[in-house]
Amino acid sequence: MTPQAAFALLTLGIHHGDEIPSGADGEWMALIQRSGGWQLESAAVQIEAIPDPVLDEPGEPPTGKAVGVPDLGGAPLVLLRGPGLAAGPVHVAQIDPRPLFPGDQQQLSLPGGEPLTIQSYGQASPNQHGALVLGDYRLVVRRARAPEVELFPSSHLDKEGQVPRVLFAGDLDRDDQLDLLVDTSDHYNVSQLTLFLSSAAKGGAALAPVASFRTLGG
C-alpha cells in the first residue's frame, strides 16, 4: 500500500516539525462541512514555528510547527493537495464512523455509482484487563467484479494499535465514484490518515492509496 507522491494530506494543529511536508504553506484544498453540505474549498495554509513541548529545551530554537487556515472561517476535516482536486461541492455517502472490528461490514454508495463493500477480518479476544486484542486483522474494500483493495493490511497491526475506521466517503475527484479517507492509525500514540482515490486505481480496482499523513503524540 504505497501512496503516490503527487498527493498530500495535512491536518490543523501543532505537530513535530519533521511531520510537516516541505512547502506546506500556501494553497491547499480544505474538505469542510458547511450548512449546505460538504465542500472542497481553496485554503491558504499558514505554518508557524513554535516550541515543541516534547522535543525542545528552553532557550533552543523552536522546532514545532503550527498549521492554521485563519481565513477559512471553519475547521476542515483535512487539507488535501493533488491533481484533479478542485473547489466545489462534494457528493457524499452515509458512513458509520465507528471502529471496524473483525467481522464488521459497511456498504457505501453514491446515486448512480457502483456500491463499495468494506469488510474487516481477523479475531478479537479480551485480555486480562478486558480490552479487546486483535489478531490477523485486515480491512479491505471491494466492488462487484473488481479486485479487493487493502485499506489496512494485517502487517500494520500493533498489539496496542487502534482499530481503523472510515472518516469520510465521497466523490473528491469528480469521477462519480466514491473516494475514502480512512483512519489507519496503528498505535495508541499515533494518528494516521490515508486517502484512497478511485481515479488513481489501476487494474480494475475500486481505489488506490494516494496520500497519508502521520503524526506522533508526546
Residue range 130-187, pLDDT digits in tens: 777 778 889 999 998 888 999 987 655 655 567 899 999 999 999 999 999 999 988 8
Say if residue 191 is in the same domain as residue 165: yes
Choosing from 56, 89, 122, the residue where a domain stops is 89
Domain extent at residue 58: 8-89
Q: How many domains does the chain have?
A: 2
Q: Look up residue 173 and give its amino acid.
A: D
Q: Residue 114 and residue 8: Cα distance in Å, rounded?
A: 26
Q: CA nearest 211: which of 11, 56, 55?
A: 11
> Which three three-digit cell numbers place residue 183?
483512519
pLDDT at 22: 84
Say if residue 202 is in the same domain as residue 119: yes
Say if residue 110 is in the same domain as residue 63: no
Residue 100, in any domain of the structure: no
- Residue of 4 and 213 predicted with greater confidence: 213
Residue 2, in any domain of the structure: no
Say if residue 113 is in the same domain as residue 202: yes
Say if residue 172 is in the same domain as residue 74: no
The sheet carrying 165-170 orders its strands as 165-170, 179-183, 190-197, 208-216
pLDDT at 119: 96
Q: Residue 110 and residue 112: Cα distance in Å, rounded?
A: 6
- Residue of 113 and 30 predicted with greater confidence: 30
The pTM is what?
Answer: 0.91
218, pLDDT greater than 60: no
Choosing from 28, 62, 89, the residue where a domain stops is 89
Q: Residue 130 and residue 86: Cα distance in Å, rounded?
A: 46
200, pLDDT greater than 80: yes
Choosing from 89, 121, 153, the residue where a domain stops is 89
Q: What is the per-residue DSSP string for 16-45?
A: -GGGSPTT-SEEEEEEEEETTEEEEEEEEE
> Stretch 95-104: mean pLDDT, rounded?
93
- What residues does 70 pair with on adjacent strands? none
